[in-house]
Each structure stands twice: as C-alpha cells, then as structure tokens.
Structure 1
Amino acid sequence: MTQEAQIARPLPGPAMDGAPPWAALAAQSRQFRTPCGAGEMVWHCWGEGGAPLVLLHGGAGSWLHWIRTIPAFAGERMVVVPDIPGLGGSAVPPEPDPATIAAIVLSGLEEVIGKSPQGEGARFDIAGFSYGGALAGFVAAQAGSRARSLTLVGSGGLGIAINSVALERVRDKSGAERDAANRANLLRWMIADPAHLDAQAVAIQDWNSRHARYDSRPIGRGALLPEQLRQLDIPIAGIWGEQDHAVRGSLHHVEATLRAIRPEMPFRIVPAAGHWVAYEAPDAFARALREVLAPP
C-alpha cells in the first residue's frame, strides 16, 4: 500500500462558490489507499488520539455521510472513514457478497491503523449507517478481538420489512431538474424535516449518486446481520432516527429484533430525525454515539 501526501487532495464534486462544501474538511484529513479488487479503496482519517473510531457510510454513499460527525470526534479519537468498495472513490469489489467486501475493508483498516500512532493491532470501535451497519457487523465478526464495540445506525440487514419509497430517477437529469430530483429523494428517504435540507446535503447526495457503482439494496433488505451479531462478544448499540423513513411505524420491531440477540444493549432514538440521523440531528447524534461507545 502507498500512503498519499499528508495534505490530502479534496475529492472532486459539485462546485459551491468555486469548491465543494466539504473541501475544507477533506483538506484536514490524511488519505490512504489500500487494495480493492483491480483497484484501490480510499480512506480518510482525522485526529490521532484514543482508540480508532471507524465509520462506515450507507448505500449509494461515501465518507460524506459522516461530514457532521467527524468534527465532533476528531479532537479525541483517530476517526477513520473509508469509501466502501464500489462507492464513492473506491474501486468495485471483486465479488458482491458482504463477507468479501468486509474482508477488503478489514484488511485495509489494519494497514491504515498500522501506519497510525496507535500502531499495528490497535483495537477499534466501529459504527455503520444503513447498509454500512450491516457491513460493520461482518467486519466486526471477522475482526474478532480487534473490535472493541459495534454501533448500528439506522442499519439494514436485520430482516425487517423496509418501507417502499418511489425515488426520482436522477441519472438522466441535469441542472435544476437534477437538483430538484435530489431534493425530492432526500426528503422521501433520508431527511424528515424539510427545514433541515440544505444545499450541502443536496451536493453530497448528487456526488454520491454520480459515484455509486454497487447496488447494496439486496444486503440492506436481507436478514444476514443477526447471524453476525450472535458471533460477537463485544458491546453492541443501536441509534435510530425517530422518523426513519425505512422503518417508519416499525421502530419497535427493530429494537425487539436487536434485544432478542443482546437484551442489555443500549438503543437510542433521536427525536424527529430521519434515516440520515447523523446529518439531520448532528449534535443529538454525536451525544448518543458518545454515550454508547466504549471509553477511548
């Protein structure tokens, strides 16, 4: 593996006043690239202290799903945020199954952590959003004792019926028409309160959709995660938005499913927030995540 320059190159994206709205945060990161199929997997890291905190984004997403969470933890943790294979800036995986993708993520994570002050073999906390929650369960199961805790954030893969939502097609649109479609999709699936939908969220949604080359929906709609959770001997927690579109009306089923596996697990519900809870309610989400994480 080769490490990129310590001054990271911001990933390209829709311009806002001449630069993507995430350019400043990207420029503060250390970027790494690790093997992924025929290409590379992209990693962004902030901070150097404490146990590494690994954040896995959702389907059709990128590290940008965590843009409002990273600053809350970078001062106290090494925050490690990859683009999952087939999404964002990372190459497609050689096989589409979650076990293969998790192995690629874990191998890359070990390299990235090995080059940090924590050093090779350092234990890490991992949190996953939506599809990233299901994948985080596989990563934690493969990592064994190297994982300290797992936090599921609006996670898929639990075998719970996911609400069907008709989304606007964006790939054949441009300009104002594409912008309107992205806004509509965010309100239908990701964000509950229209007042919380801003230009940055739209820009992130647009960049993510342009770079998504892997369809994670079969994993998110499946029931593979409980088997992985039963293998774990580490703290597990759940954080969901109260108005999560994916499971609206079924949040009690989510909690019951998780507590059937781990009765004592913390389960936090962030009031009035939608599926993309870390973006829509960043302060409340950061408090909830800090409460359930193992001490750094």
Structure 2
Amino acid sequence: MALDYSAVPRMPDGRTAAEHIREIEATARAVRVPMGNGGRMMWHIWGEGSGKPILLLFHGGSGSWIHWIRNVQPLSEHFTVYAADMPGLGDSDPPDDVRDIWSVTHCVQAAMQGLLPAEEKFAITGFSFGGMVAGHIAVLFAQRIRRIVMVGAGGLKATRKPGPKLRKLLPEMPAETLAAEARRNLEILMLHDPAGVDGIAIHMQILNTTRAKTRSRDMGQQFKLSEVLPRVKVPLTGIWGEFDSTTYPNIQERIDLFRARQPDFEMNVIPGAGHWVAYEAADAFNAKLIEILAEPQARSTLTAASRGGVA
C-alpha cells in the first residue's frame, strides 16, 4: 500500500519534503554493496575521490541516511562521507537475523570490506542504534578506525526515564493521522523543541519506520553496546543533546560507563537539543564533530575558535 504524504507540511518555499530529500540525495553517489548474505547494503557517498579523510555515518534505529540530511553536505567539505543505510533499514536488504546485533554487524563488515579503499583508515559517527553497531564494528576493524564518535548511543545499561509509548505508523492510516502520529513520536523521542518538528522530519519518520525490518529496539533493550564495550580499544568520544530523551537527566551515568573503559573519554553536550541532535542543532553538531575529528594541530585551532559555543 502506497504511503500518503499529503498531510506532511511543505517547506517554506513550497517544495515538498520528498523533493528536498531527493535534491540532497542527488548530490551523492548511491551504491548498493553485497553484504555477504545474498543481500545488498545501500550507501550514499559525498566527496568521493576528494582525498579527504573518510567518515562513515551510521544512523539510528528505524532510520536511514536521512537522519544525516543536515550534516552530509557541510561534513563533505572536510571528509569523504559514507552514509550507510543499516541492514534491514532504509533501502538496505535485511540481515539473516533482524533481532541479532552480530548478524547486522557482519553484514556491515562485509559491505565495508567491499566498499572502502583497502587499508585506508577512517572514522565512524554512530547515532543511537548506529552507535551500537559502531561499537561492534570496532572489534572487527580495530587497526583501521581512527575514532568513533558516539551520538546519543543506544544499547547502554543505564537509567532511562520512563516516557509515553511511541505509536506504530501504519500505511493504511489516513494522511492526517499518519502525519499527526509521526509528529507525536518525533516530539516524544527525537527532538526537544516541538517547533523543530518540520515536514522533513515528519516525512522521514513515516518513510523510515514503515519500511523498517531490523528490530533495533530489541537489541538496545538487551544492552548490547555495554556488552561489547570491554572489547573496544578504538578511541571513543561522545556528542549528546542536553535533553536527549533516552538519557536526560542521567547523562553522568553514561559518562561514567564510557570512562570506566576509556578514562580520557570526552563527552560533548549540545545545549537545548534532544536525541536527534544532528538535526535539531545541526550547525553546532557539525562544528563539534569537525573539531573532534580534526588532526591534532588543526583541532587546537578549532577548539580555541569555538570556545564559549558548544560545551
């Protein structure tokens, strides 16, 4: 059944959210890569052939590369950006077991081996479920990963404040109901300020959640990132929204978990933002990520320039 997006708000200039998403997507090269189980994994690449350092972007649960729609172009000025659709999500085929994190990870591993330049080092930024996958990938590519930046990472055995339950989006819902329920879910989980829930976010939420096959929430509730952390030797850094719905007001507990494994772990908190910090506070997020992943000499300059902005 075709999804009805007619109730999704348009952009201020009159374009639909779908048109905007297609315009950003058209600036990348899209490629579907074998992932070892007979299926293929979708990647979008910005800045290919530029010679800039490689940055992989792993999106959140029931998501796709669209989670990074406000980030891919600014980041491509500094990196060769590979934005993945995780197995069983977005336009990627499912893993063998949609409830098993290692089944997902081994598909990502196979795709990375076929896609990335051999022996070249790279960084990973993993949002929510993507942080959980990044932690598992770190065990398999330890010698090649420069740093992993965890963004509101899921799968941690830590306190989470109870909140309203999300509602399942169904293709057969009337357009007004579908858009309203998507907005409600975004306000509960993804963004702190309801005013930030625009047409792009609503369109993304409808599209991604109605086609999701991989059960990322099941893996998060099994604390799979905490389980693998003792084996992760790759340097880790965090970026969290101040009011992340999966964390607030218990962010110190997350910091302690990471520092128990890596004492020099640095947590960067973006003021006023929620879980989907890369969208809600895109400019601050992009600046902080660029600073974190800069070479040491460049990083000291960027840090001095950004003091007083992002904490």
TM exceeding 0.5: yes
In structure 1, what is the Cα distance between the partners aligned to 2:233 and 2:213?
34
What fraction of aligned residue pairs are identical, expressed as a percent? 35
Structure 1 residue 101, shift from structure 2 partner: 1.4
Q: Deviations over 1:23-69 (max 9, x none)?
A: 11111111111124342111100013322100100000000001111
Question: Does 2:97 match 1:98?
Answer: no
In structure 1, what is the Cα distance between the partners aligned to 2:96 and 2:222?
21
Structure 1 residue 13, shift from structure 2 partner: 9.8
Report the residue type matching 1:170 in the other structure.
L
1:56 counterpart (50, 55, 58) = 58
Q: What secondary structure sits across from 2:141 in the alignment? A: helix
Match of residue 198 from structure 1: 198
Match of residue 160 from structure 1: 158
The 3 A distance-change label for structure 1 pair 198 and 290 is: same
Match of residue 132 from structure 1: 130
Q: What secondary structure sits across from 1:33 in the alignment? A: strand
2:119 counterpart (113, 118, 121) = 121
Does the 8 A contact of 2:126 with 2:149 survive in 1?
yes
Match of residue 33 from structure 1: 32
Match of residue 75 from structure 2: 73
Q: What secondary structure sits across from 1:213 in the alignment? A: coil
Does the 8 A contact of 1:149 with 1:294 survive in 2?
no
Match of residue 19 from structure 2: 20
Q: Deviations over 1:61-108 (max 9, x none)?
A: 000001111112112211001100010101110123212211211221
* 5+ long unaligned stretches in structure 1: 1-11, 115-119
Q: Deviations over 1:252-283 (max 9, x none)?
A: 11111111111111110111100000000001
In structure 2, what is the Cα distance between the partners aligned to 1:86 and 1:14?
23
Report the residue type matching 2:245 in the other structure.
H
In structure 1, what is the Cα distance between the partners aligned to 2:229 and 2:93?
27
Does the 8 A contact of 2:169 with 2:178 survive in 1?
yes
2:140 counterpart (139, 142, 158) = 142
Q: Deviations over 1:148-207 (max 9, x none)?
A: 111110001111133343112321522111101000110011000012111111111111
Q: Deviations over 1:219-243 (max 9, x none)?
A: 2223232343332333210111010
In structure 2, what is the Cα distance between the partners aligned to 1:140 and 1:214?
20
Match of residue 258 from structure 2: 258
Report the residue type matching 1:136 in the other structure.
A
Does the 8 A contact of 1:126 with 1:140 survive in 2?
no
In structure 1, what is the Cα distance between the partners aligned to 2:108 and 2:61?
15
Q: What is the number of residues matched between the two proteins? A: 280
Comparing 211-220 with 82-91, which one deviates more in the overlay? Answer: 211-220
Match of residue 46 from structure 1: 46
Q: What secondary structure sits across from 2:254 in the alignment? A: helix
In structure 1, what is the Cα distance between the partners aligned to 2:160 and 2:174?
29
Report the residue type matching 1:153 in the other structure.
V
Does the 8 A contact of 1:62 with 1:84 survive in 2?
yes
Does the 8 A contact of 2:78 with 2:290 survive in 1?
no
In structure 2, what is the Cα distance between the partners aligned to 1:51 and 1:110?
17
Map residues 216-227 of structure 1 onto 2, 5 A cutoff.
216-227=216-227
In structure 1, what is the Cα distance between the partners aligned to 2:177 and 2:226?
40
* 5+ long unaligned stretches in structure 2: 299-311
Question: Does 2:231 match 1:228?
Answer: no
In structure 2, what is the Cα distance between the partners aligned to 1:289 and 1:183?
27
Report the residue type matching 1:182 in the other structure.
A
